[in-house]
Amino acid sequence: MRYALISDIHANLPALDAVLADIERAGVDATYHLGDLVGYGPWPNETVARLVERAIPGVAGNYDSTVAAGYKHCGCRYEDPRQEALSHESFAWTLTHANRATKQFLGGLPFRIDIRPLGGHVAGPTVTLVHGNQALNTVYVTEDRSDEFLGAMATALGARSGDIVGFGHTHKPWERVVGGVRFVNTGSVGRPKDGDWRAGYVLLDVAADGAKVEFRRVEYDVDRTADAIIASALPDELARYLRSGGQSLAPA
């Protein structure tokens, strides 16, 4: 079975459409999103509508659940006061511009999804999808997390050797095997932070003899997104951030 895992689209419709076209070329059995459909980008309603139209299931990111609940902030982490201010402006904009149908959809997303590529009638493997970790969609599972941290995460999720755990939230793609469990951070479709502005996602092939992970990067019309951000009341700095692959606001 071949899956496309797409995460952290963040209302960047041109990035999403470029990824969906790439997925179509690659050919998959199913596509799942790993949350953070909205926030920072100018097309929250259109992004949700596209996923509904394509019947793409997925889990709730921190941005999705905080917008749906009308929470006081997005549950994001900030590296400096400027980032914090930008984040609050973006959250307020998204709360205002996400319509009722969008908020209802975001509020209905499940916290985790378990997939059985070879069928539930055999023992495994299981692919588990969350946005952050097993307990909260706000926890950043970064590449520098220890084996002990990831081992505890596997235990809490009920993942065993041979299983795959997919997640996003950090916007930086990476993978590691700990105790036979494969941890795959898919990176971000619409707001990468690893210095590469191109949309990122993962193709995951699962067979009886193991799994293969391919990190994909797709060019898209970043000017269209940047121009739409500048034309909106969203902070212009968010456009520079996209073009720089998340480096324009990085601390020196």
To Fe ion, the closest distance from the beta carbon of 249 in angstroms equals 15
Closer residue to Fe ion (CB): 11 or 127: 11
Whose tokens are 């809490």? That residue is 156
- Strand 2-6 vs strand 199-207: parallel, antiparallel, or unpaired? antiparallel
CA distance 67 to 104: 10
User: Considering only CA atoms, which of 228, 150, 152, 215 is closest in space to residue 188?
Assistant: 215
Q: How far is the CB of 88 from Fe ion (least distance, A)?
A: 15
Binding part of the chain for Fe ion, among 29-37, 155-163, 174-182, 212-220 by CB under 5 A, reads 29-37
The least CB distance from residue 161 to Fe ion, in Å, is 29
User: Rounded to an integer, what distance in angstroms lies between the CA atom of residue 194 and that of residue 5?
Assistant: 18
Decide: is 8 part of the binding site for Fe ion (CB under 5 A). Answer: yes
3-state SS assignment for residue 117: coil
Amino acid, single-letter form, for residue 179: G
Question: Interacting stretch for Fe ion, rule CB under 5 A, among 5-13, 156-164, 203-211, 234-242?
Answer: 5-13
Work out how close the CB of 188 gets to Fe ion at its nearest, in angstroms, rounded to a whole number.
6
List the strands of the sheet with 30-33, edge to edge.
30-33, 2-6, 199-207, 210-218
Per CB under 5 A, 64 contacts Fe ion? no
Question: Among 22, 36, 64, 163, which residue sits at the site for Fe ion (rule: CB under 5 A)?
Answer: 36
Distance CA 216, CA 199 (A): 8
Quote the least distance from Cβ 36 to Fe ion, whole Å. Answer: 4
CA neighbor of 196 nearest in space, from 177, 175, 222: 222
Closest to Fe ion by CB, 91 or 206: 91
Question: Under DSSP, is residue 102 helix (H, G, I), strand (E, B) or coil?
Answer: helix
Nearer to Fe ion, 167 or 220 (CB): 167
For residue 65, the minimal CB distance to Fe ion (Å) is: 12
Contacting range for Fe ion; rule: CB under 5 A; set: 28-36, 44-52, 103-111, 156-164: 28-36
Considering beta carbons, is residue 60 or 206 the nearer one to Fe ion? 60
Q: Work out the end-to-end distance of the chain between its first and last CA atoms, rounded to an integer number of angstroms.
A: 43
Q: For binding to Fe ion (CB under 5 A), which residues are involved?
A: 8, 36
